[in-house]
Amino acid sequence: MNALIPSFENSGATGDLPVILLTGASGYVGGRLLPELLKQPIRVRCLARDSVRLRSRIPENVELVQGDVLDAASLTAALAGVDTAYYLVHLMSGSESKNFEQQDRQAAENFAKAASAAGVHRIIYLGGLGDDSDPKLSPHLRSRHEVGQILRESGVETIEFRASLVIGAGSLSFDLVQSLTDRLPVMLCPKWLTTPTQPIAVDDVLAYLLAAKELPAGKSRIVEIGGEDVVTYEDLIHEYAAQKGLRRWLISVPVLTPWLSSLWLALVTPSSFEVGRHLIEGLKNPTVVRDPLAKTLFPIKPMGVAESMRIALLPREPTATSENQPHPQHAAG
């Protein structure tokens, strides 16, 4: 069965509402975005590789289509009649992580071609910050940018958001900082801890993703987004420790390469070695906002690191799809 699409007769939905496709609903950002979309007068459709599993975790008024971005034929039903498509897919985690660049490229090409053929009006994509002209840009960040380029070249208007570390409970990048700080009172710190970054609260990411749907029709754009503060990863560890009431000592050493750093992190975090290695390779690259376009397009004032982290540490209810995480199809965060 290609599609599991429930009737909307009992839900109050009407056929003239715009159809919004959400990919990556089982991932961190997608799982947080879904309930926000359901508050709006739209029809929400989710693409799922395991539709039976996801069906038990999402509201009945969500259309569900079984498909895979790596299976081009399965995308036809998913994109039929879609006005706006959220592309929150990242194949870096899971069994595909060793070949994630090739997999991400193929997935983006499949989706771009299918979206164009279906007459989709807009694609909204969440990628990563980083300077394209940097010859040392990590494979992870370079792949994120390549996906955005493929989507833009589809001919479908594409809003590509580029973000750094996402601060929020459940974000893989934030979990790395959290697990590291929680478990190691004394840390031998590699050089990448001094790399400048501009983290952003997950609530602000969601605000941008939702606002992008309402933009007037126009050309494809790259929109760099970040929080109020530019900090280092060392600053993030100190802020987290301070908010948790922890005393931590950081000792800088020049010998921990990204590869050794990921091995070190694998010993103290729940993340897999491969995913940790790919993430840490990107930490050596500055990820700060250089283009102020976001400020002119959106009336959003992102919060700073201290407030973002305070909110992230508050107890909260799990999202409807949180039991599926981590999942191969999720946005970097």
Per-residue model confidence as pLDDT tens digits over 201-227: 999 999 999 999 999 999 999 999 999
Say which DSSP state 318 is in. P
**Which residue bears the tokens 């380029």?**
149
pLDDT for residue 268: 65
Q: Which amino acid is at 186?
A: V
- Peptide bond preceding 326 in cis form (omega within 30 of 0): yes
Q: Residue 99's pLDDT is what?
A: 79
The closest alpha carbon to 244, from 171, 180, 326, 170, belongs to 180
Q: Would the CA dihedral through 240, 290, 145, 73 be positive or negative?
A: positive
Residue type, 330: H
User: Collapsing DSSP states into helix, strand and coil, what is residue 6?
Assistant: coil
> What's the pLDDT tens digit per position in 1-27?
333 433 333 334 456 899 999 999 988
pLDDT digits (tens, 9 = 90+) for 124-133: 999 999 998 8
Q: What is the mean pLDDT of the chain?
A: 84
DSSP 37: H
Task: Give SS3 for 233.
Answer: helix
As a whole number of Å, the CA-based R_g of the chain is: 19
Confidence of residue 75 (pLDDT cuts 50, 70, 90): very high
Instruction: Identify whether the C-beta of residue 122 lies closer than 8 Å to the C-beta of residue 20.
Output: no
What pLDDT is attached to residue 273?
A: 62
288 has pLDDT over 90: yes
How do residues 150-166 score in pLDDT, each as one tens digit?
A: 999 999 999 999 999 99
d(CA 52, CA 50): 6
Q: Which residues of 124-140 are buried (b: 16+ CB within 10 A; e: fewer)?
A: bbbbbbbeeeeeebbeb
How many other CB atoms sit within 10 Å of the CB of residue 269?
21
Question: What would the mean pLDDT of 122-151 be, rounded to a whole number?
Answer: 93
Give, in order, the Cα–Cα distances in Å from 171 to each of 79, 103, 183, 291: 28, 22, 18, 25
The structure's pTM equals 0.87
Q: Which of 319, 129, 297 is nearest to 213 (CA)?
A: 297
Secondary structure of residue 236 in the 3-state scheme: helix
- 8 to each of 19, 38, 45, 321, how far by Cα in Å? 13, 14, 12, 22
- How many Å apart are CA 332 and CA 105, to the nearest integer? 15
Q: What is the CATH number of domain 3-324?
A: 3.40.50.720
